[in-house]
Structure 1
Amino acid sequence: MSYQSIIITIGDELLIGQTIDTNSAWIAQQLNHIGINVKRRIAVADERSAIATALDESIPQASLILLTGGLGPTADDITKPLLSEYFDSPLIVNETVLQHVKQIFTKRNRPFLERNLKQAEVPENCQVLFNRLGTAPGMWFEKEGCIIISLPGVPFEMQTIMSEEALPRLKERLAGNHIIHKTMIVAGVGESFIADKIEDIETALPPHIHLAYLPTPGYVKLRLTTEGPDRNALQSQVDIHAELIRQRLGTIVAAMEDLLPEEIVARLMEEHRLSLSLAESCTGGYLANRITNLPGSSAFFKGSIISYDNEVKESLLKVPRAILETAGAVSEKTVIQMAEEARRTMHTDIALSISGILGPGGGTAEKPVGLVWMAISDGRRTVSREFHFFYDRLRNKEQAANAALDMIRLFILDDQH
């Protein structure tokens, strides 16, 4: 049996773009893990009629509805009184919640106000979902065969209530269905190229297995999805078709799981016990930032010389002035010298360099905006490559960083064969 859910996020701040809705993404991931599909995500204003209408429209269509937001102690937090009216249940003080709220204020040495008492009030016919990290409890209702769960909008409180209270109950109530996802990372090509290469494999997929293309600057995620009662059988079928795709696409498949490009590189570095340094110009340290966002990156990453200005290229990376004046900062000769000197200076197994024109200005007929040169060296060989990107400055930077990370991946794999 397939269980369908709808997520309703409440708050004007979501509708005007002041706050990004990360709650829905997290909730959807958790529901998928326990075999519940998300059918729809809805954002509504802090208005009683908007919330009530969303519930009226959603209850007949779903097995489960999750609401987040509007459970605070201020006048604009209207979800709880609305739910009291909607489910025709008066608000009562829950003694367990009341004692918890008082303890929180005592620990924080803050006065307990009348409005804080409201946090302990819940509709009489709901099941309280305890919030050990905050004052707003979650609430569980049931109507017309549908479970309705209301949660606070504060992400860490919502996640705690979901993990400790809601998900265990949902697993027990809605057991029996499994959703299987298999994600592959394909680097350096577009979705049209991939679709042409695997057209016959995609056409032959069983009806219950679906393939999605999820393009990102520099790479594409391919996701196979299926659902049903037998997890092992489903996983085996998905793995078989994923392997067919991997064999067809070859080395452009960077990973057989949902990993960031820097995570792929980190795994290869650790597997082959290699160290890495960078010489960045146009990316301005962005590559180093992404790598150092990974826990444990110090095991393989030594550092980056951010040679944004030509003086730094000349003084720290020993790029001859003659090369900078004739070939230019964005040239094959320059990036080769940058990579080789970075490796020598930082005593690493591998070094990658990058220099380019990301835009919107700075381009010429010979060197247009989007031109990026990269080089990678291990002391025995140096490989250079020219790239052309065609978007705005930030997207060009993202594509350049992803291309650089994939260049490192391919360099390591080539060295192992």
Structure 2
Amino acid sequence: MHTRAAEIIAIGDEVLRGEIVNSNAALIASALEDVGWCVVRHTVVADDTEAILAAFREARARIVLVSGGLGPTRDDITSECAARHFGVRRVLDEEVLEGIRAFFERVGYPMSENNRNQALFPEGAVILRNPLGTAPGFRLSRGEKHFFFVPGVPREMARMLHAEILPFLEGILPEGAHRAVTLLRTFGMGESRLDERLEDVTAGVAGVTIGFRTQFPENVVRIVADGRDRAEAEERLLRVRTEVERRLGPMIVAEGERTIEEVVGALLTERGLRLATAESCSGGLLAHRITNVPGSSVYFERGVVTYSNEAKTQWLGVPAEVISAHGAVSDRVAIAMAEGIRKIAGADLGVGITGIAGPGGAAKEKPVGLVYIALATEGGTQVQKQQFFGDRDRVKTWSTAVALNLIRLYLLDLAGPSSLR
């Protein structure tokens, strides 16, 4: 058995039939790989006793992570199957039962007798607490082999994975298997050019690899460093990451799971600036992305969707003659929108977006995907012409991503060399 091998077993008819996407497996696999474990197998089985027991018997990895089947209903049989596989009885954990009762009291619902089953665990199991729901997880070990059982609800599983399981797994890694990982999110350069730019970046640093993946509309650079211990892995990672940052510069928009809208929000807050948006073809998506960040009311003043020509004139003061002379999709109109919303809102920054999202509305000189994005500030207004490709949703997503990056780059120039990431 590979000393770093891990296996994932998902239990549930709805997963097997494709009614829900097995997002848990993706999250678990990524997290295990990030701390140094090698996922060698994924299995999905039905809510069936014999199928579940067969999957447990077939598991060959040192670490087996099982998700699903810990609920209160009759088809939630994972705990029973685990007890049978390990040859033990199930016992009631009074502390867990009291916690389940307290959970129902907090949410104001009566507790069903079925929920009592969630406090029954295979004898000898180590309980994994679940403050987000009523289904605790548990760990069963036999020698150097460890089974972890977690609920199928993604947010409950994720919390348990990071708080309870990964620290344990990092502690039992064999010597030389420690790992440090970082993700750098980039914007404005494709995978092939990124690969060329970073071709020899790991030269002279042992145990470090670089990978790329597209997470539209960004490209993610994943740096993985292995070492004899955590300190060595992190030191190697830092050396390569520093060089990657030097080569890519402002094309790196965020780190880890942080989004560009979170970065923009942090920069606006740091500078004490307020933003307002005027959108046409993006239909309010920019305002939506900005306000998805908690605390955005500190820096976001307002957003308007001025879809028609009349709305652009009435709400933003875009001169009708400018629209008539240049068309609603033009640099002049984007500039007028940005300057208009900045003035009306009394904001420090104003953004205007106008374009053709498609599939209709295009002309030879103005094809689908043509978008103008303007940023108005105290020092003047800049505008970008972009030609995007893809369906309506992709054009809207591209438009807002470019707008956010335009704001970010402007704020970084204001903020100086010490950028927030």
Is residue 148 of structure 2 the alignment partner of residue 149 of structure 1?
yes
Residue 353 of structure 1 and its aligned partner are, at CA, apart by 0.9
Once the two structures are superposed, the pairs formed by residues 53-92 of structure 1 within 5 Å of their partners are 53-57=54-58, 59-60=59-60, 62-92=61-91
Residue 154 of structure 1 and its aligned partner are, at CA, apart by 2.9
Is residue 195 of structure 2 the alignment partner of residue 198 of structure 1?
no
Residue 314 of structure 1 and its aligned partner are, at CA, apart by 1.0
Q: TM-score, normalised by structure 2?
A: 0.86
Residue 253 of structure 1 and its aligned partner are, at CA, apart by 2.9
Residue 292 of structure 1 and its aligned partner are, at CA, apart by 1.3
Distance 1:72 1:339, change over 3 A: same
Q: TM-score, normalised by structure 1?
A: 0.86
Q: Aligned partner of 2:71: which letter? A: G
State how many pairs are aligned.
413
Question: Larger deviation: 351-360 or 261-270?
Answer: 261-270
Distance 1:2 1:209, change over 3 A: farther
Once the two structures are superposed, the pairs formed by residues 270-349 of structure 1 within 5 Å of their partners are 270-349=269-348
Residue 65 of structure 1 and its aligned partner are, at CA, apart by 1.2
What is the rounded CA distance, in whole Å, between the counterparts of 1:416 and 1:166 in structure 2?
A: 40
What is the rounded CA distance, in whole Å, between the counterparts of 1:128 and 1:339 in structure 2?
A: 56
Question: Larger deviation: 27-36 or 258-267?
Answer: 27-36
What is the rounded CA distance, in whole Å, between the counterparts of 1:164 and 1:240 in structure 2?
A: 28
What is the rounded CA distance, in whole Å, between the counterparts of 2:393 and 2:89 in structure 1?
A: 53
Distance 1:244 1:20, change over 3 A: same
Other-structure match for 1:140: 139
What is the rounded CA distance, in whole Å, between the counterparts of 1:109 and 1:301 in structure 2?
A: 38
**Contact 1:2–1:37 (Cα < 8 Å) also in 2:** no
SS of the counterpart of 1:200?
coil
Distance 1:316 1:137, change over 3 A: closer
Other-structure match for 1:385: 384
Distance 1:173 1:188, change over 3 A: closer
Other-structure match for 2:239: 240
SS of the counterpart of 1:46?
coil
Other-structure match for 2:213: 214
Residue 331 of structure 1 and its aligned partner are, at CA, apart by 0.9
**Contact 1:282–1:308 (Cα < 8 Å) also in 2:** yes
What is the rounded CA distance, in whole Å, between the counterparts of 1:104 and 1:267 in structure 2?
A: 35
**Contact 2:185–2:252 (Cα < 8 Å) also in 1:** yes
SS of the counterpart of 1:199?
coil
Gaps of 5+ in 1: none
Q: Aligned partner of 1:196: which letter? A: E
Residue 414 of structure 1 and its aligned partner are, at CA, apart by 4.5
Distance 1:192 1:140, change over 3 A: same
Question: Larger deviation: 311-320 or 138-147?
Answer: 138-147
Q: Aligned partner of 1:278: which letter? A: T
Residue 367 of structure 1 and its aligned partner are, at CA, apart by 1.4
Is residue 14 of structure 2 the alignment partner of residue 8 of structure 1?
no
Distance 1:133 1:262, change over 3 A: closer
What is the rounded CA distance, in whole Å, between the counterparts of 1:253 and 1:154 in structure 2?
A: 33
Residue 133 of structure 1 and its aligned partner are, at CA, apart by 5.6
Other-structure match for 1:181: 181
What is the rounded CA distance, in whole Å, between the counterparts of 1:288 and 1:255 in structure 2?
A: 19
Q: Percent identity?
A: 36
**Contact 2:309–2:328 (Cα < 8 Å) also in 1:** yes
Residue 375 of structure 1 and its aligned partner are, at CA, apart by 0.9
Q: Aligned partner of 1:198: which letter? A: L
**Contact 2:35–2:180 (Cα < 8 Å) also in 1:** no
Distance 1:117 1:266, change over 3 A: closer
Other-structure match for 1:399: 398
What is the rounded CA distance, in whole Å, between the counterparts of 1:244 and 1:160 in structure 2?
A: 33
Once the two structures are superposed, the pairs formed by residues 352-371 of structure 1 within 5 Å of their partners are 352-371=351-370
Is residue 110 of structure 2 the alignment partner of residue 110 of structure 1?
yes
**Contact 1:217–1:402 (Cα < 8 Å) also in 2:** no
Residue 240 of structure 1 and its aligned partner are, at CA, apart by 2.2
SS of the counterpart of 1:73?
coil
Distance 1:41 1:382, change over 3 A: farther
Residue 30 of structure 1 and its aligned partner are, at CA, apart by 5.5
Residue 268 of structure 1 and its aligned partner are, at CA, apart by 2.5
SS of the counterpart of 1:201?
coil
Distance 1:371 1:65, change over 3 A: same
Once the two structures are superposed, the pairs formed by residues 22-41 of structure 1 within 5 Å of their partners are 22-28=23-29, 31=32, 35-41=36-42
What is the rounded CA distance, in whole Å, between the counterparts of 1:354 and 1:126 in structure 2?
A: 57
Residue 340 of structure 1 and its aligned partner are, at CA, apart by 1.0
Distance 1:408 1:111, change over 3 A: closer
Residue 40 of structure 1 and its aligned partner are, at CA, apart by 4.5
What is the rounded CA distance, in whole Å, between the counterparts of 2:319 and 2:130 in structure 1?
A: 63
Q: Deviations over 1:215-271 (max 9, x none)?
A: 122321111111223333322322222222232233323345553111222233233
Residue 160 of structure 1 and its aligned partner are, at CA, apart by 5.4
Residue 361 of structure 1 and its aligned partner are, at CA, apart by 2.2
Distance 1:290 1:55, change over 3 A: same
**Contact 2:56–2:85 (Cα < 8 Å) also in 1:** no
SS of the counterpart of 1:283?
coil
Distance 1:389 1:111, change over 3 A: closer
Residue 334 of structure 1 and its aligned partner are, at CA, apart by 0.6
Residue 351 of structure 1 and its aligned partner are, at CA, apart by 1.3
Q: Aligned partner of 1:299: which letter? A: V
SS of the counterpart of 1:362?
coil
Other-structure match for 2:229: 230
What is the rounded CA distance, in whole Å, between the counterparts of 1:33 and 1:199 in structure 2?
A: 22
**Contact 1:140–1:148 (Cα < 8 Å) also in 2:** yes
Residue 162 of structure 1 and its aligned partner are, at CA, apart by 4.5
What is the rounded CA distance, in whole Å, between the counterparts of 2:406 and 2:307 in structure 1?
A: 21
Distance 1:245 1:133, change over 3 A: closer
Other-structure match for 1:265: 264
Q: Deviations over 1:83-108 (max 9, x none)?
A: 23322333444454455556666775
What is the rounded CA distance, in whole Å, between the counterparts of 1:294 and 1:359 in structure 2?
A: 29
Distance 1:411 1:137, change over 3 A: closer
Residue 394 of structure 1 and its aligned partner are, at CA, apart by 1.3
SS of the counterpart of 2:152?
coil
